Amino acid sequence: MTDPFVVVGGDAAGMSAASKAKRDAPGGEVVVLERSDWVSYGACGLPYYVRGEIADVEDLVVLEPRAVIEDRGIDLRRHHEAVAVDREARTVTVDADDGRYEQPYGELLLATGGRATLPDVPGTDLEGVFSIRSLAAGRALKNYIAPHDVRPARGVEGAGGDELRAHLDEADPDAVGIVGANKIGIELAEAFVGRGLDVHVFDAGPRVLPAFGSDVAETIEEHLRDGGITLHLGTTVEGFRGRDGRVEAVETAVEPVAVDAVVADVGVEPNVEIAAGAGIERGPTGAIATDEYGRTNDPNVYAAGDCAEKRHLLTGEPIHWPFALAANRAGRAVGRTVSGSPTPVGGVVGTQVMKVLDLQVARTGVVDHEEARTAGFDPVSALITTITRAHYYPGWSRMVVHATADADTGRLIGANMVAPEGTAHRINAVATAITAGMTVEAVGSLDFGYAPPFGPVWDPVLGVAKVLDEKLR
């Protein structure tokens, strides 16, 4: 490791890299520059914090700053924002509370993360319009919809605190609009319903959760409507209307919908401004392009996490995949590489699982036929409806499973599924099979464990593989 190893960004990828580098090369100097209050936190838990299932926003913090500094020996500098990189001088320009300075680096990791993509419409600056990709944003949102349920931040100045309460105590919203029927949007819809709010979800597309495939969307949409959520699908949002600076309606091409708050989040945009200013190349997705070890076009500069591209293991193409496991894994690999043990950051097959009210929804691989053909596959699919436990064991429920294979090779290339239980571990089995390049026939022959409380004799994964194998013959 060429000292100092400087990390820009103190969340999943950044802290994983810093911790691993310091562990493997304890004599090396590791500096982490983080512009906010918190480091290493679970942003995926924010919808459950907003709902109230998690009491304190600090409960989402994985590593306390004291532990980073004292136990791990990392030079952690919070409220230090990196604003520029000089690759020739090997310095980072940093704005801190006590002024601007130049931080030298031997090797540099850009782990600058991503931010919510807001719709390009009027009114996004109104009070009551939120995005939610940080702890501070999550705390501000909860403060707005339930100001009496927000606890003071422990030892964090200005963390969505008292300056909001003076005028938000009277907000007391009844209706909330969500723009974006994606994973974070649907998870927040559940959180708002859990708080007794009237929830409206808007999306220009015809289905919710498009990444999970149209085959399970109908089941999900019916379940959302039954849960009291109003879906405005195929609906273009034209702006947000306000009164006295506060949002009061979502303007659509059809009619305005009265709301008291809005969460507008139609995707994740990588934070690449520092990289672009330094001449670091971006890939076709707009995120930072890297090689298999996370190196950029500058061999002394790495990128990992939501700001960097990943490689899709099925298509071989770069993909922007802003999820926690990929970020942690890539950061850890970079930490090993800079400390002397070159380690690939690894690829992804696109595995996701989420909770939709009392349904579990999961997907992995390539499930869309058009996407499969673009990647060079000849897709063939099978759809089954089965059960989650043995039919005679109490509590079983229906499960819908859709799987896709390549007709030329017989290889399993994707699956999605929905049920009240049992999808998370099953989709992981499918992801393992896809990563290993297994054929549908081989998947159908796997020796799965069986017991009536956990599944039928023919597990849903084995069942859909059996049906798909017949279609391929």
DSSP code for 312: B
Which residues in 248-268 are b (16+ Cβ under 10 Å) and which e? Answer: bbbbbeeeebebbbbbbbbeb
**Among residues 44, 357, 424, 446, which one is catalytic?**
44
Sheet holding 99-104, edge to edge: 81-86, 91-96, 99-104
* DSSP states of 193-232: HHTT-EEEEEESSSSSSGGG-HHHHHHHHHHHHHTTEEEE
**Is 307 one of the annotated active-site residues of the chain?**
no
* DSSP states of 368-428: -HHHHHHTT--EEEEEEEEESS-TTSTT--EEEEEEEEETTT-BEEEEEEEESSSHHHHHH
* CA–CA dist 449, 454 (Å, integer): 9
Interacting residues of 310 by C-beta distance below 8 A, sequence separation 6+? 318, 319, 320, 321, 326, 330, 345, 347, 348
Compute how many other C-beta atoms are within 10 angstroms of the C-beta atom of residue 247: 24
Is-contact 282 266, C-beta < 8 A? no
Task: Supply the residues annotated as catalytic.
Answer: 44
